Structure 1
């Protein structure tokens, strides 16, 4: 079980690092576009590329943010109920979250397939094949679905999820 845990944790960390690199790419694109404007040059497609990087950063960061406790959770409700009800409420939340994430992953996969099949390109000047930014979205969504399923299975087997608790969660205990 140790190698599986290390692999999953490594995947979540790599996903978070890739999201950070996408944010750095956005910064670089903005700086390059500013420099291009100051020098009278044109950098076509820069806003589109920044948008693709923002989407990639968002989706790639989901799983890492989940395990770091950065997602908004219903801590007030969880703290108001007893420990047994809290366990069942968390199981229900993780089950719904995992099912939804897998559902979105499936339809993201289908959307990617249609983009490849029909050679779908962006509407901007760059005419980027849409399967490229959609691939990052799909990868991030699958990693989030895995993270939610991982937390659900851990909760079912050990009674504790793997999310680092934030300050509001620990104050109630």
Structure 2
């Protein structure tokens, strides 16, 4: 399981870099558009594209936050417990997160399906076929749900085999620097 979690972490790091590059590219296009406007050369649609970028980068970036133990958690009670009880709190947290991520990923599909069925385009000058950004958004949610389920399964296995210390590494909290 450690190898699988390590692979998941590496993949999420690469996906986070890709999401960051997408954000950087969008910022550069927006900057160019702002500079070009006084010269009468506006690209138009940068606000629309930046909205798509934010949704896509967020859906892909939350998987990285998960595997980096960067999700916000309130640990008032957890901090007072021994490592075994902390592992149980971590298991409850990752199971809840995996459940929510799976439900959201499942509920995103009907949005895309309806878009494809209606051949919907953005109500803007770009008239972007909405299936394109929504497909990337959906894929990010599916990846996040997949990542969360893999980590949840790992945590259950670690607890079942008495490896409470490994639970903290897979789904615990990042220590303060």
Pairwise TM-score range, normalised by the shorter structure: 0.7 to 0.9
**Where has structure 1 moved over 6 Å in runs of 4 or more?**
none
Correspondence 1:20 to 2:28: no
Q: Matches of 1:156 and 1:80 in 2, distance apart?
A: 22
Q: How many matched pairs? A: 169
Point out the more displaced range, 61-70 or 85-94.
Answer: 85-94
Question: Unaligned stretches of 5+ in structure 2?
Answer: 159-163
For the Cα contact (< 8 Å) 1:25–1:50, is it kept in 2?
no
Q: What is the CA distance between 1:41 and its match in structure 2?
A: 2.0
TM-score (norm 1): 0.85
Q: What is the CA distance between 1:16 and its match in structure 2?
A: 0.9
Q: What is the CA distance between 1:56 and its match in structure 2?
A: 1.1
Q: Matches of 1:102 and 1:165 in 2, distance apart?
A: 22
For the Cα contact (< 8 Å) 2:91–2:171, is it kept in 1?
no
Please list the CA deviations of residues 140-159 of structure 1 after superposition, one character each: whole Å capped at 9, or x if unmatched.
11111122112211211223
Cα RMSD after superposing both structures: 2.2
Give the match's secondary structure for 2:133: helix
For the Cα contact (< 8 Å) 2:34–2:42, is it kept in 1?
no
Question: Unaligned stretches of 5+ in structure 1?
Answer: none
1:41 aligned residue? 41
For the Cα contact (< 8 Å) 1:18–1:60, is it kept in 2?
no
Q: What is the CA distance between 1:19 and its match in structure 2?
A: 0.9
